[in-house]
């Protein structure tokens, strides 16, 4: 990096500052920014259709709020600074701010509180491929007051289904599990105190392989027999029905396990009622999300053609959102899309649709100063009718003006010269077909509206 | 503040953390957040209609970038911190990031480069009414490569006109001036070196009054005669034509002044051509924007019924966006709306439309578990047709369910009990009129779409 900077500076011949974006931060050119915003708009539109209200909280929070519940890794990654007497930090997720918000405003909110939040969060991770220090999260959460129906866990799946259907980035699978199953199994095996460690190992199975995972479990002091029971559980596979039958056939006499099984059956049944097609979701007993605070249903989502991208939308059910901030018990369920990372991954596998470098649909080109007034009036008429319009205002050769339209990918150019002014018409050129015709401004407006 | 915190803590009976938002930061309840987002969407939609492309740059920049051009006040207010070896800061405006972006990507961009940027910026000011430490700016800028037509200065006025027309917050006046006029006048008076100081005093006239302003000018060592000439200039008033005639009649033999006059005449003429009504803009020779880096046209915008709010949209023309970062000369013109401040001001004068606390249009209420499946299917059908829909999923009395709809302001409730399930209909209640009727799900969808 520093070598590049030096080169750049010497090439400039003077000591100018480095204008490259910081490593770990995403900055897009217009065409990609337009594609990024389209994805964000789609997500927002689906979230709103499911009755979630928008929320926007400060990027800066008191450090004591952010670190009230967080562990060592978070503390290391956090952007923290003092301003005056205040110990401040940049938020590292949208869940802690939600907990603070709900605690502060609980008397003013109606419960269940359904909010979506699309915003930037910050983690000072060592920069590596696919890891960002500033990234967008697109979260939904449904927060209950003391209790929250299990049907919400199914509804979240319905939201995920709708989002990824509308994003149109290929077929996908929503993986659903319930943490109470593994928790109950480990209780029954008498190793409940190892639950967190075991879940972390389960999360790693795909990466390290079954053999390694087994020896890691063995290293924890878990017996052969128990390890084999854990794998009997994890290996239950097939379609949703078969997995549920497999779980019943384990015949586990443990309250937590049975509760998990009942919850999972109920959630699966509501997912079907909500119209999520069978081919889009599976029960996957290997989903643990060991690092998170979930207590029941958990979700992950993967693209069928790109399993290596990992989970692109994850979440779950939690018992109590804000125990550090309020006495009220606030159970919830939610899910998060890490949009910056997802976008960057989709770029790598060329799944981002190539957008034009502008939203402009019509470029008005005055051929000479005589055409300028009519050009401005034509542009105003188009804009009044909702059509994204620009006028090429610089003095330049006609060729340069058309080159501008081509570089940006503007689909229509309206040419206005002396002849057009005299005849109260404009020349409309379709930049894709090359076709050109004379029309009145009224006809132009109606043509542009119908394109 | 600290007293409140102590009270809160003792009321809680334990040592819980403070959940109140930091002073100087805005945090809204859902109804206001919806109103805020509507304003932002309106601004975005107008910006796009004028052919501006979206841009999004990191909130964190290298401190050397942010302070390359900035003065002492900025340095004091900036949020600055170290992370590893990096000296980082939060951006305090969207213009410096634009300068960096254009310098970095100049080879990939098409010029003139028209971008809008809606994002948060940070200034650690001492908190006072109407001042925010985190606030949204909504900026447009048109950046030319070496040159930029003056017609753009008029087009910016057309954008401001369209934005405030569509925001619907009452009648407004866009004030236009050209800095070259006062610059030229001061040159002619032989006091060019005092230009910045004089402009700052001119900016204060409305606040301090003419008498005080005159003695401040006198304190700078400016002669009676020159002060009276400055006020002759500032006092030219009337409609746009009269002011232009008044300026011509000053008969100033100064190149800068004459250039300013010609530019102003030209800009005014294009503003009219673009269809901005006479009653919405004036030439105001007292607009100086002394603290900014403008070199020609300058703008301010005020609400006619609320002059005390000051300028709610300001900007101007600058000669060179990024001299610190690139050799290329990048003249530009742009304008900024400080949306957080504007929203807070509009709240104070009750100009924010009271929104509902949700975007949900239909609440589906299952009367019992028998109605649940049909409720979920009905909700899916409504959402598939673009209608924002929720299902009340918690077990509760019917009264509680209706209270939820009323608290949020949901306009339609669909009730589904045994009778409805048996007859394959739903009961639709209009919460405004109280009217209730039985309809089929198909009829419900088509009714909801037409509301």
Q: Are A375 and A393 in contact (CB under 8 A)?
A: no
pLDDT digits (tens, 9 = 90+) for B159-185: 999 999 999 999 999 999 999 999 999
Q: Which residues pair with A143 in a beta bridge?
A: A113, A332
Report d(CA B19, CA A432) in Å as an integer.
56
Residues of B in contact with A394 (CB under 8 A): 112, 144, 147-149
pLDDT digits (tens, 9 = 90+) for B99-135: 999 999 999 999 999 999 999 999 998 777 778 999 9
Report d(CA B431, CA A359) in Å as an integer.
40
CB pairs < 8 Å spanning A and B: 248
DSSP class of B166: H
Q: Decide if pLDDT at A13 tops 70.
A: no
Q: Check residue B15 and give its pLDDT.
A: 57
Q: Does residue A64 sit at the B interface (CB-CB below 8 Å)?
A: yes
Is A380 close to B53, i.e. CB distance below 8 A?
A: no
Start-to-end CA distance of chain B, whole Å, equals: 47
User: A424's torsion region: left (phi>0), alpha (psi -120 to 50) or beta?
Assistant: left
Compare CB distances from B16 to A50, A133, A324 and report the shortest one's residue.
A324
Q: Among all residues of chain A, which has the CA nearest to that of B358?
A: A53
Report d(CA B380, CA A276) in Å as an integer.
10
Q: Does residue B194 sit at the A interface (CB-CB below 8 Å)?
A: no
DSSP class of A275: T
Element housing A213 (H / E): helix A210-219
Q: Which residue has the tokens 């900036």?
A: B78
Give the tokens for residue A300.
């992950």
Q: Does residue A84 sit at the B interface (CB-CB below 8 Å)?
A: yes
Q: Decide if pLDDT at A15 tops 80.
A: no
pLDDT digits (tens, 9 = 90+) for B180-231: 999 999 999 999 999 999 999 999 998 899 999 999 999 999 999 999 999 9
Q: Are A415 and A444 in contact (CB under 8 A)?
A: no
For A152-168, b/e burial (b = at least 16 CB within 10 A) is bbbbbbbbbbbbbbebe
Task: Count the Cβ atoms, other than its own, within 10 Å of residue A108.
Answer: 11
Q: Check residue B281 and give its pLDDT.
A: 97
Distance from CA of B429 to the nearest CA of A (A): 18
Q: Check residue A185 and give its pLDDT.
A: 97
Prediction ipTM score: 0.94
Collapsed DSSP state (helix, strand, coil) of residue A288: coil
Task: Count the Cβ atoms, other than its own, within 10 Å of residue A417.
Answer: 18
Give the tokens for residue B208.
């301090």
Q: Check residue B8 and give its pLDDT.
A: 43
Q: Check residue A8 and give its pLDDT.
A: 43
Residues 346-385, chain A, touching B (beta carbon < 8 A)? 357-360, 372-373, 376-377, 379-380, 383
Q: Which residue has the tokens 């010029």?
A: B111
Q: What is the mean pLDDT of chain B?
A: 92
Is A60 close to B134, i.e. CB distance below 8 A?
A: yes
Q: Does residue B274 sit at the A interface (CB-CB below 8 Å)?
A: yes
Q: What is the mean pLDDT of residues A314-320?
A: 95
Give the tokens for residue A46.
């689906």
pLDDT bracket for residue A285 (50, 70, 90)? very high
What is the percent of chain A with per-residue pLDDT over 70, rounded to a whole number?
96
pLDDT bracket for residue A88 (50, 70, 90)? very high
- Rounded alpha-carbon distances, angstroms, from residue B197 to A352, B218, B219, B252: 52, 12, 11, 22
Q: Decide if pLDDT at A111 tops 50.
A: yes
Q: What is the mean pLDDT of residues B24-34?
A: 96
Q: Decide if pLDDT at A12 tops 50.
A: no
Compare CB distances from B325 to A16, A54, A122 and report the shortest one's residue.
A16
Q: What is the mean pLDDT of chain A?
A: 92
Contacts of A394 (CB under 8 A, 6+ apart): B112, B144, B147, B148, B149
Q: Check residue A11 and give its pLDDT.
A: 44
Start-to-end CA distance of chain A, whole Å, equals: 47
For A86-98, b/e burial (b = at least 16 CB within 10 A) is eebbbbbbbbbbb
């Amino acid at each position: 990096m520093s070598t590049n900077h030096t080169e750049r500076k010497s090439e400039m011949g003077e000591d100018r500052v480095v204008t490259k974006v910081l490593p770990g931060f995403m900055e897009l050119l217009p065409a990609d920014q337009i594609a990024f915003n389209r994805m964000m708009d789609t997500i927002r539109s689906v979230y709103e259709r499911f009755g979630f209200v928008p929320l926007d909280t400060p990027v800066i929070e008191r450090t004591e709020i952010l670190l009230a519940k967080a562990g060592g890794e978070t503390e290391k990654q956090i952007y923290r600074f003092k301003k005056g007497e205040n110990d401040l930090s940049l938020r590292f997720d949208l869940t802690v701010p939600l907990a603070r918000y709900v605690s502060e405003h609980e008397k003013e909110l109606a419960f269940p509180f359904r909010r979506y939040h699309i915003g930037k969060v910050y983690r000072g991770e060592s920069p590596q491929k696919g890891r960002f220090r500033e990234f967008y999260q697109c979260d939904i959460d449904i927060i209950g007051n003391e209790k929250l129906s299990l049907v919400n866990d199914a509804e979240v799946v319905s939201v995920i289904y709708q989002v990824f259907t509308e994003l149109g980035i290929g077929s996908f699978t929503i993986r659903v599990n319930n943490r109470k199953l593994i928790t109950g199994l480990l209780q029954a095996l008498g190793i409940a105190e190892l639950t967190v460690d075991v879940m972390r190992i389960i999360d790693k199975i795909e990466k390290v392989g079954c053999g390694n995972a087994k020896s890691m479990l063995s290293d924890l002091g878990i017996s052969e027999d128990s390890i084999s029971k854990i794998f009997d559980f994890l290996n239950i596979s097939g379609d949703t029905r078969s997995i549920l039958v497999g779980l019943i056939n384990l015949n586990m006499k443990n309250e937590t396990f049975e509760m998990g099984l009942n919850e999972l059956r109920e959630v699966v049944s509501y997912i079907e009622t909500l119209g999520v097609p069978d081919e889009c979701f599976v029960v996957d007993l290997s989903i643990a999300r060991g690092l998170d605070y979930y207590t029941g249903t958990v979700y992950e989502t993967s693209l069928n053609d790109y399993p290596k991208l990992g989970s692109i939308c994850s979440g779950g059910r939690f018992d109590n959102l804000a125990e550090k901030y309020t006495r009220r018990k606030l159970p919830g369920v939610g899910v998060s899309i890490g949009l910056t990372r997802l976008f960057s991954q989709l770029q790598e596998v060329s799944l981002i649709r190539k957008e034009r470098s502008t939203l402009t649909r019509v470029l008005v080109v005055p051929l000479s100063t005589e055409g300028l007034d009519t050009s401005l009036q034509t542009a105003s008429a188009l804009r009044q009718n909702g059509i994204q319009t620009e006028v090429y205002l610089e003095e330049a050769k006609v060729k340069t003006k058309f080159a501008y339209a081509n570089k940006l990918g503007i689909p229509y150019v309206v040419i206005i010269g002396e002849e057009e002014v005299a005849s109260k018409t404009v020349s409309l050129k379709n930049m894709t077909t090359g076709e050109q015709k004379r029309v009145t401004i009224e006809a132009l407006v109606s043509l542009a509206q119908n394109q």
